[in-house]
Amino acid sequence: MNVQVCKWSKRLAQASFEKDGDRKGFAMLTHEMYEQRIAARTQRSALDYFTTSALLGRPDPLASDSPDDVSFDLTYKMVDRLVIAAVETGARFERDSLPSDPLAWLYSPQPPFDGARPLEACLTAPGLMRCIMFHSLDLELGMPSDLVDQILRRDAGMTGETVAGGLWNIGRDRDSVEHGRTLYTATIVDVQVSQIHHVYHAMMACDLAEARGLLRLRYGRQLADQAEVRRGYDASNPLAVSMVSDAMGAILAMVASNPQSALAEGLDLQLESRFAP
C-alpha cells in the first residue's frame, strides 16, 4: 500500500511539472484516482448506517412509528445540540478518513466522554462544547477523559482569545490591523496509506502567526501543523499549478501586489483534493 501511495505521489508531481501539459496530465490523473475511489465507495452505501443501528440494538429509523416506541422529551436546544454534534462528528470522520462508523461512535460509550455515549453527553452545553473542541483539535478517538481535559485546558487561552476578539493580538486595534493585512498562501500535502490529501489555501492576514491560527481553526491542528505558509502568491508552486485556475491565479497575483484592493476584502480561498490509492 505504501508503494502504491509513493507511485501516486510521483505521478502527481510529474503531471504537475509538465511544462505544456501540466493541467491535462493532472486532469487525467485525478480522473483515474476519482474512478477508483468511486468504485471503492460503492461497497458502502447509506443503508450501512441503518445496519449500524440494528447492530447496536437501536430501532430501525425507516420503520413506521409504534405506540410501543420509547419516547422522551427534548428541548429545542437539546435537538440543536444533537444536530451540531452529529455534523461535527461526521465532518471529522470524513475529513480524516477514519475507518470506523461515525454513527456507531456516537452511540457507543467513549473514553473522551468519561465512558458516556457522545449522543447523550452532547445533550448538555458542556458536552457539546467538549465534542466540538475534541473534533476541532483532531484528538485521538480513544483518548482518556482526563488527558482530554488537560489538552482542552491548555488550549483554553486560544479559545478565550478567539471568543473575545478573534485572532487579533492583545492590544491590537482591529481597524488598524485591516490596513496592514496582506495575502498569505498555504499548501498542505498529507500522505497516508488510505488517501492523499492536498490543500491550497489563500487568506488575508496581518502576519504569519495569524495565518497559521486561521489554518488551525479551519483544518485542525494535525493538518495545520503540516502546512507550508508563505507571504504572497507563487504561481510556480506545484499545488498552485495543479489546483489554481488561471483566472484565480490572476486575482491572487493582483491581491498580492495590492492588498488594499477591493478584491482583497474578505478573500478566503480553499481548494482541496483527496485521492484514494
SS3 annotation, 87-99: HHHHHHHHHCCCC
What 3-state DSSP class applies to 182?
strand
User: Do the domain assignments include residue 131?
Assistant: yes
* 56 plus 146 within the same structural domain: yes
Q: Looking at the structure, do residues 102 and 142 belong to the same domain, yes or no?
A: yes
Shared-domain flag, residues 112 and 50: yes
Instruction: Kindly state whether residues 204 and 221 are assigned to the same domain.
Output: yes
Assess contact for 121 and 130: CB atoms under 8 A.
yes
Nearest residue to 256 via CA among 269, 241, 242: 269
Residue that finishes a domain, picked among 154, 185, 202:
154
Give the strand order in the sheet containing 268-275.
228-231, 182-191, 196-205, 268-275
| Model pLDDT, residue 254 | 93
258 shares a domain with 241: yes
Of the candidates 274, 268, 256, 257, which has an alpha carbon nearest to the alpha carbon of residue 215? 268
> Both 82 and 32 in a single domain?
no
Co-location of 178 and 100 in the same domain: no
Same domain membership, residue 146 and residue 58: yes
Last residue of a domain, one of 119, 154, 189: 154
Residue 159 lies in a domain: no
What pLDDT is attached to residue 161? 38
Helix ranges (H only) for 18-75 are 22-41, 47-55
Residue 166 domain flag: no
Specify which residues 189 forms β-bridges with.
198
* Residue with cell string 443501528: 53
In-domain check, residue 18: yes
> Does residue 149 fall inside a structural domain?
yes
Say which DSSP state 72 is in.
-
Which residues form the domain of 253?
1-43+171-277
**Are 198 and 274 members of one domain?**
yes
235 and 265 in a single domain? The answer is yes
Into how many domains does the chain fold? Answer: 2
Question: In 3D, which of 124, 45, 21, 23 has the Cα closest to residue 132?
Answer: 124
Residue found by looking up cell 471529522 in the block? 92
Q: Is residue 163 part of a domain?
A: no
Q: Is residue 182 part of a domain?
A: yes
Q: Distance between CA 155 and CA 42 in Å, rounded? A: 40
Q: Are residues 91 and 19 in the same domain?
A: no
So what's the pLDDT on residue 269?
93
All three cell numbers of 106, joined, read: 456516537
| 72: its cell numbers | 422522551
Is 112 within 8 Å of 141 (Cβ atoms)?
Answer: yes
pLDDT in 10s for each residue of the chain, 277 residues: 444 444 444 444 444 444 444 444 444 444 555 455 444 444 444 445 555 555 556 677 777 888 888 777 889 999 999 999 999 999 888 877 777 888 889 988 999 999 999 999 999 998 998 998 888 777 888 888 888 887 777 655 444 333 333 333 333 444 434 457 899 999 999 888 778 889 999 999 999 988 988 888 788 777 888 899 999 999 999 999 999 999 999 999 999 999 998 888 889 999 999 887 6
Q: At 42, which amino acid appears? A: T
Dist. CA 157–CA 270, nearest whole Å: 27
24 contact partners, CB below 8 Å, separation of at least 6: 18
- The pLDDT value recorded for residue 144 is 87
C-alpha grid cell for residue 116? 458516556
Q: Final residue of a domain: which of 154, 183, 215?
A: 154
In a domain, 99, yes or no: yes
Q: Give the type of residue at 45.
A: S
Say if residue 104 is in the same domain as residue 10: no
